[in-house]
């Protein structure tokens, strides 16, 4: 395993993929140079049980959902592939980056936090980091993060993102809007943007199913 270093920071470990033997090599190349190689899918998640668990702990729903999405995405290998210096690499772990609104300025900051092993440990660390960080942007996002952003003012059915024009940017984006009630259940619009070189509809489907099952089974007392 290799460790990626950006500036003075050491990032998570990864291994380089041999494109001569990798089964997905042809598919990766086919989408790598597409005009818009990333695509976005929006689904509805049932958060009835999860929201009750989060509220009982007095936790921030934004931070809880950030952990849930990143934790489950780490379990799907396709979401841990990245381009790095022209090579394809597979990270051992992907951490979290999330947007956090400053209520006084109404401007957001991008906060990077190690994911860790439990939500109970992640939430206070993320909250403290967001509170203490003065800069809106601490530098370019690393390859070893998932980018999360909440838009709790809007109940939406689709969302699009700004495009940097960098086709090698394979950072997955997770967004969610305002949750709402339908037939006694609390539902959340949830969006996944992924790079098609690594992530197909099959993998998006696996993530949605895995995340929904995880939310349904989450027990804050046992976390």
Domain boundaries, the chain: 2-222
Spatial separation of the C-alpha atoms in residues 81 and 138, rounded to whole Å: 23
Average pLDDT over residues 50-78: 98
Domain 2-222 has CATH 2.60.40.10: no
Name the pLDDT band for 200 (thresholds 50, 70, 90). Answer: very high
- 29-53: per-residue pLDDT in tens? 999 989 899 999 999 999 999 999 9
When the pLDDT of each residue in the chain is averaged and rounded to a whole number, the result is: 93
- 72-120: per-residue pLDDT in tens? 999 999 999 999 999 999 999 999 999 999 999 999 999 999 999 999 9
Average pLDDT over residues 123-144: 90
Which residues have CB under 8 Å from 155's CB, separation 6+?
177, 178, 179, 180, 189
């Amino acid at each position: 395993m290799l460790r990626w270093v950006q500036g003075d920071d050491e990032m998570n470990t990864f291994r380089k993929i041999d494109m001569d033997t990798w089964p997905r090599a042809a598919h990766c190349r086919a989408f790598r140079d597409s005009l818009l190689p990333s695509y976005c899918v929006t689904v509805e998640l049932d958060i009835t049980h999860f929201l009750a668990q989060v509220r009982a702990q007095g936790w921030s729903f934004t931070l809880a959902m950030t952990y849930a999405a990143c934790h489950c995405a780490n379990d799907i290998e396709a979401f841990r592939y990245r381009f790095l210096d022209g090579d394809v690499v597979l990270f051992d772990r992907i951490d979290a980056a999330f947007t956090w609104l400053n209520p006084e300025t109404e401007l957001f900051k991008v906060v990077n936090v190690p994911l860790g092993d439990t939500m109970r440990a992640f939430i206070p660390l993320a909250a403290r980091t967001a509170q203490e960080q003065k800069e809106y942007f601490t530098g370019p996002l690393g390859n070893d993060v998932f980018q999360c952003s909440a838009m709790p003012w809007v109940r939406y059915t689709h969302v699009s993102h700004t495009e940097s024009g960098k086709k090698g940017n394979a950072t997955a984006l997770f967004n969610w809007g305002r949750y709402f009630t339908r037939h006694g259940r609390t539902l959340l619009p949830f969006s996944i943007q992924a790079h098609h070189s690594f992530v197909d509809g099959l993998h998006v489907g696996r993530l949605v199913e895995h995340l929904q099952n995880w939310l349904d089974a989450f027990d804050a007392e046992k976390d």
